[in-house]
Structure formats: structure tokens, C-alpha cells
Structure 1
Amino acid sequence: MENDPNPGGASVFQHRSVLLAEVLEAMEPVPPGLVLDATLGGAGHAAALLAARSDLELLGVDRDPDALVVAAGRLERFGTRVRTAHANFAQLGDLLDELDEPLVGALFDLGVSSPQIDRPERGFSYRFTGPLDMRMDPTQELTAEVVVNTYPVDRLTRILADGGDVPAARRVAREIVARRPLETTDDLVEATNAGTPAAVRRRGNPAKRVFQGVRLEVNDELESLIDALDQTIDRLVPGGRVTVLAYHSGEDRLVKERFRRADRGGCSCPSGLPCVCGSTPEGRLINRKPIVASEAEVAANPRAASVRMRTLEKGRRAS
């Protein structure tokens, strides 16, 4: 996730990459070859990685065409070492197969970027008046307006509870339905406040979680993440690494479970005892507990406060 001091700029991706030193350290041991940045954004991590390792090439992917334009300019100095693609997580496997090069590393910096949040016309933020959009890829059809105005109460409740960890999710969902049609972000904020108990509102702005849940649904972020991790881990060479930066519990939980399954290889033996079931791990966890931002980094960039970073190294196949 990145920081934009100029929220009015339609094509400005001034950025402060989160956990930059930690990402570089995680990727330092990978062999020469191709690195995938699956969430290229402002290309902060990508540029630093290419500068640090002259033996690496990059495939930079993003759903946002604006981000790709800016990233291409920032990465121009690396010449033919860089290729970019406008694509989503579901297309990663096909892109990598087309290149047919050894994949030695992958980075997923999840969530919405600060330049996207800070542009009211994108509709991501409850802090600004804007349309109910929330699409990371402006070319896709599904928008937040469709979600909040057409989904039945039960489905709305589920996406708010599962994606946003929204307290009183059903009450909020019912209020949204009762106020249809909703047209702006302000309409969604008002429905959220009306459906949220006062005790919950005193703990913080409830719209933050509601907007998160709707955004995850619009962009199919959780389901597509599972598939993307599977495709990436499968294509990594032995010794290759995948690093994920997650910013909320739902994302981090999925990453933790997928990496743990790769580390155990489907082993059903009791934890702490030697494996006797013959399972072969896909890889090994580089950090058993997630890496978080330092106090200094959070002070400089408050949006780093919730980040959790995990890294998996691909293991060697059994002979």
C-alpha cells in the first residue's frame, strides 16, 4: 500500500512503499531469474528490487491502468528487464506460462493503494463524497453501486461479516436495503451509521469496515487471492520465494493458512512430532510469525500500521 500526498492528481502515484527493506531482505537469496510483482502499483518495491539485483527481470501486473502508466515510466530505466501487463490475479498463471521463464520470486502487496483511496471519483473512501464505484479495474462491470442496490439482505450480511468483520452486519445490511437506491459514498456512510449500534460507533468509524467488505466483493479479492497463491507457488523454482503484504485479518488469515499448508505438505501427523505419513512439503516458512512495520515506519506512514508480511520459500521436489 502506498501513500499519496497529492490526492487530487488523477495520474499521480507519489508513494512510500511499505516494509521496503524487509521485502528486499526476503528476496535477497532468490536465484537469478524472473520476479513477479502481482500488484505493481507505483512500482516502489519493483524499482528497489531491480536496482538491488541486476540479475533479476520483472513481470509487473496491475488491475489499474493508471498505475501501469506511472509504473512504466518509473521502471523505464531498467529497459528490457521489465514487462508489464494489465491483468487480474486469475490471469497470472497464463501470463507466466506465456513467458516460459524460471519464476524465482513473487510479491503481493494487497489491498487498495493510497492514490486510489485518495481519489474521490474512485469511490473507495468513506472520507470523500464520490460515486459508489470501488473498482480496482475501471473496465470491469461490477461496481459497489450494484452490490449495495441489488444484493439481498442475506448476501450483503455475509460479505460485510466475512470481508469486513462488520459488527451488527445484518442490521447494517437491512438498513442499506431499506434506503435503496444508494448513489454516493455519503449514502452508504449514512446507512452504515443508522444501522450500527451507538456502542459500536464509539469504538471507531463503522464505515471503514463496511467499505472494506463491499470493496472486497466488488473486486473478488479473497477468492482470487487463493487461486493466485496456488498458481504462483506451483510455478516457483526450488529456492524461489513468494512474499505477501496483507492489511486486514481476512487476507492475512488466507495467506497464513495457505503458507502453513505448503510448509506441512498436507502432513496429518501431530504438531511437534516427526512426520511419518510420507507427506512432502511444498516449501518452508521464512518467518513463523508475520513481520510488522516498526514504530518509526508507522509514524511516517500511518497506513503501514496494519500490515502483516509473510514469506514462503519453495522447496525441492522429492526425487
Structure 2
Amino acid sequence: MSEPVYHVPVLLHEVIDGLHIRPDGVYVDCTFGGGGHSLEILKHLNADGRMVVFDQDADARKNVPADDRIIFVPHNFRHLQRFCRLHKVTQVDGILADLGVSSHQFDTADRGFSTRFEGDLDMRMDQRQELTAFEVVNTYTEQQLHKLFEQYGEVTNSKTLAKTIVQVRKTASLKTITNFKQALHSIVKGNPNKYFAQVFQALRIEVNDELGALKDMLQQVPPLLKPAGRVAIITFHSLEDRIVKNFFRKGIFEDSAVETDAFGRATTPPPLKAVTKKPIVPTDAEMKRNPRARSARLRVGEKEEE
């Protein structure tokens, strides 16, 4: 029996096309994972090309090839500039971030990412950190839980869900996925699989501060990119996509309007130019081959030439 694939890279050819790879260039993969995107980039680099790859999940290190052109950084990409400078990389030609949870993480029961398996309610991408999904559901206030389920999971009855968790945890353990699902069975709205997928998404985003890390990383992209350098970001839900879209178009994260001068020009032009007006989505063939790609959205930005 063959081993399961660690992770199938999503929108692989579209990423390569979007990055406009220079053979002697320096590239950063913020989310190395199974290495699919990085290995494809390496094929386009000559002996002078280099890659810096980040992944906070210790399991990803096993996938790093023996190649002198690649540097592995076992940390969150929110520390992008710090570790690039540590490795004497001050400017790069391209940056990639695939924000999805890897198939390996979803399919490893004891990581607690999937509703399909039994295991502890964990969800840490970096297992060195202390905060777990169990800590969130066991210690957050009703108001905090309501807010995160509403904002990060768009759960229809987020207020009832938060109230029920606070009541249930007084007398029952929510430590495992089965405990958690059984305790909330009576308040599930609609399709249970979809409902818990939204609940788990919200918990995962909170545990790993995914939106905060994304914003931190994006702010470091413009100064790190060379003029005409490109950044490719793959998102998997609307919260992430909106952050990337607004940053590329306006240089800010919110949906608010940008200040303009008397001629209608932005007083502070965005640090990147959106190469893609609309997000690039997977083809029907890719979604058939890899159903987990169906919600992927790719946006590409470019630093203006000086």
C-alpha cells in the first residue's frame, strides 16, 4: 500500500506563471508544506538561484530536499523579514504563500484539524505553542466565543453555540473531537458536516492567529520585494481573500475608501499593483483531480519598478 501524498499543490502552473520566475532569482515560499510549489520553482532556477522556505509545522521539514539552493526556516511566516535578513537575504524576486491547511494536517487524526477523525481538540500548526482549540472552548468567555464563531466561521447560530459551550463545559469534557461534537449535537443547524466545518475553521483561525499572521506577512512583502518582483497568495476562504485583495488594491486591510487628492488619485498609492483583477480559480479538471482545491483563490501582486 502506497503512502498517502503529504499535500497536492494547488494552482501549481498558475503560481509558476504568475511569479515570472528568473533563473538566477531568489524566491520565498512562506508555506513549504509538502514542498510541491517549491520543488517546481527550483526546476526553473539555475545554480545561482536560491529559495528560502518557511513552515512552522515540524512535519514539513521531512520534505525538504537535499539541495544547497534551499534554506528551511522552521517558523511562522509572520517573521518573514527577520529570518530572511538572518540568512542575509535582503531583497527577493518573488514570494509565495499557500494559506490552506495541508492534506497531511487534515489527515493526521491526532492533530485535531478534521471533523472526520477522533483525537484531541488541538489544531495547532506549530505544536510548540500552548494555545489549543480545547483551551479556546474551555476558557474563552461567551462573548469571545460568539465573536470568533460569527466572524471566523460565519456560523448561523454563533450566539447559541457560544452559550451552549459555556454551559456544557461546566459538567462535561470538550477535550476530544467526539466529546465536542456530541455535546453540541442538539444545536447543529443544517448539514452537520458543513456546520462543524465552519466551527472548526473558526477555532483553527483563532488558535493559529491566521488572519493576524497574514496581515503581518503582507506588510513585510513590499520592502522585501525587488522592483518588478511578484507575490502570489492562495487563499481558501473569503476572510483571507478580502485581506489580500484590499492590500493589493489599496494598501490597507479594511473595505474602507482610500483618501484621494483633488484629482482623484490616492494620496498614498498602494505598495503593490494587482496583476490579477479577479482571483484565479482552479480549472474543472484540477477540482476533479483534487476536490480540496475547489475553494482556492490565487491573487498575484507586483511591486512597481522604481
**Pair 1:268 & 2:256 matched:** no
Letter in 1 for 2:167: A
Please provide the CA RMSD for this pair: 2.2
Instruction: From 2, 6, 12, give the equivalent of 1:14.
Output: 6
| In 1, Cα distance between equivalents of 2:35 and 2:82 | 22
Instruction: From 23, 27, 39, give the equivalent of 1:47.
Output: 39
| In 2, Cα distance between equivalents of 1:119 and 1:179 | 27
| In 1, Cα distance between equivalents of 2:88 and 2:181 | 47
In 2 relative to 1, CA 61–214 (structure 1 residues): closer, same or farther, beyond 3 Å? same
Contact 2:248 2:271 in 1 (8 A): no
- Any unmatched runs of 5+ in structure 2? none
In 2 relative to 1, CA 174–279 (structure 1 residues): closer, same or farther, beyond 3 Å? closer
Alignment of 1:148-167 (within 5 A): 148-167=137-156
**Pair 1:257 & 2:246 matched:** yes
Letter in 2 for 1:36: V
| In 1, Cα distance between equivalents of 2:107 and 2:21 | 36
- Any unmatched runs of 5+ in structure 1? 8-12
Instruction: Please list the CA deviations of residues 260-285 of structure 1 after superposition, one character each: whole Å capped at 9, or x if unmatched.
Output: 1149xx95349xx9644554442211
Contact 1:252 1:308 in 2 (8 A): yes
| Aligned residue in 2 for 1:65 | 58
Q: Helix, strand or coil: the match of 1:108?
A: strand
Instruction: Please list the CA deviations of residues 166-194 of structure 1 after superposition, one character each: whole Å capped at 9, or x if unmatched.
Output: 11111111122222131101122234432
Q: Helix, strand or coil: the match of 1:154?
A: helix
Instruction: Please list the CA deviations of residues 94-141 of structure 1 after superposition, one character each: whole Å capped at 9, or x if unmatched.
Output: 012223332111111003101110011100001111101100011111
Q: Helix, strand or coil: the match of 2:148?
A: helix
Letter in 2 for 1:116: Q
Give 1:35 shift. Answer: 0.7
| Number of aligned residues | 296
| In 2, Cα distance between equivalents of 1:277 and 1:31 | 35
In 2 relative to 1, CA 31–161 (structure 1 residues): closer, same or farther, beyond 3 Å? farther
| In 2, Cα distance between equivalents of 1:285 and 1:189 | 42
| In 2, Cα distance between equivalents of 1:94 and 1:69 | 23
| Aligned residue in 2 for 1:201 | 191
| In 2, Cα distance between equivalents of 1:281 and 1:132 | 40
**Pair 1:182 & 2:174 matched:** yes
| Aligned residue in 1 for 2:124 | 135
Contact 1:269 1:276 in 2 (8 A): yes
Letter in 2 for 1:57: R
| Aligned residue in 2 for 1:112 | 101
Letter in 1 for 2:68: T
Contact 2:31 2:77 in 1 (8 A): no
Contact 1:89 1:228 in 2 (8 A): yes
In 2 relative to 1, CA 191–206 (structure 1 residues): closer, same or farther, beyond 3 Å? farther
| Aligned residue in 1 for 2:297 | 308
Contact 2:8 2:103 in 1 (8 A): no
| Aligned residue in 1 for 2:286 | 297
Q: Helix, strand or coil: the match of 2:226?
A: strand
Q: Which moved more, 1:175-184 or 1:115-124?
A: 175-184
Report the TM-score, using the length of structure 1 for normalisation. 0.86
| Aligned residue in 2 for 1:146 | 135
In 2 relative to 1, CA 121–32 (structure 1 residues): closer, same or farther, beyond 3 Å? same
| In 1, Cα distance between equivalents of 2:215 and 2:7 | 27
Q: Helix, strand or coil: the match of 2:231?
A: strand
Letter in 1 for 2:259: S
Contact 1:193 1:201 in 2 (8 A): no
Moved over 4 A (4+): 273-278
Instruction: From 32, 53, 56, give the equivalent of 2:49.
Output: 56
